Amino acid sequence: MSEFSIRLARVEDARAFHKVEEDAADLLRSEPSLKGIPVPPSTSAEEYRATIAKGHCLAATIADEVVGFAAAARVGRELHLHELSVARAHQGKRIGATLLTALKIDAANSGLRAITLNTYRDIPWNGPFYSRHGFVEIENFEGRQHLVQSLDEAVAFGLPRDRRCAMIHFLN
């Protein structure tokens, strides 16, 4: 197992975030149950620069190479996880789980109440992964318009509404 480190993301990590996301997206492209369903384009380096600048993004590195990341931003008193990706060559090493744990610590230390996200409810490395890490599916979107908007955008792109969900992890 390779040793990895987790650190606060730097603006210069933006291009690596894009590349890691694009690499990890190949898993969705090859998922048999998603045949014929489009995979949204990866976030651009420019968009990642803007998100990183807000201060709640984390990078997983091995020998100074970004191999995974968590891109999140504050929405009110919550942190919304836009993307959690690990390069395929480095998956299965608990990098994603460690990024998620570190994100929870960062959010709690920042005085935030919860972390939210949108994902596939039935793809093993999506909904079930987050469930194992304390996230629960939510139905009541009151006060969380960003979740409604994210779901609506996914459906408009062509993702199946019945397979998508919003999840939340309340911080203690």
Kindly list the domain boundaries of the chain, sorted by start residue.
Answer: 5-170
Residue 46: how many other CB atoms lie within 10 Å: 10
User: What is the tens place of the pLDDT at every residue in 8-25?
Assistant: 999 999 999 999 999 999
Give the pLDDT band (50/70/90) at residue 114. very high
The CA-CA-CA angle for residues 99, 145, 8, to 5°, reads: 20
Q: How far is CA 145 from the centre of its chain?
A: 18
- Cα–Cα distance measured from residue 148 to residue 140, given in angstroms and rounded to the nearest whole number: 10
Does 1 score more than 80 pLDDT? no
DSSP 8-class letter at 32: G
| Confidence tier at 2 by pLDDT (50, 70, 90) | low
Angle CA 121–124–129, to nearest 5:
80
Across 69-92, average pLDDT: 96
Q: Which CATH architecture has domain 5-170?
A: 3-Layer(aba) Sandwich (3.40)
Calpha distance 25→91 (Å, rounded): 13
Handedness of CA 119, 66, 3, 98 (dihedral sign): negative
Q: Strands 136-138 and 58-62: what pairing?
A: unpaired
Mean pLDDT, residues 44-49: 97
- CA dist 7 and 126 (Å) reads 23
* pLDDT score of 42: 92
Q: What is the pLDDT of residues 84-97, one digit of tens each?
A: 999 999 999 999 99
Answer yes or no: are the C-beta atoms of 9 and 17 closer than 8 Å. Answer: yes
117-172 pLDDT per residue, tens: 999 999 999 999 999 999 999 988 888 889 999 999 999 998 999 999 999 999 97
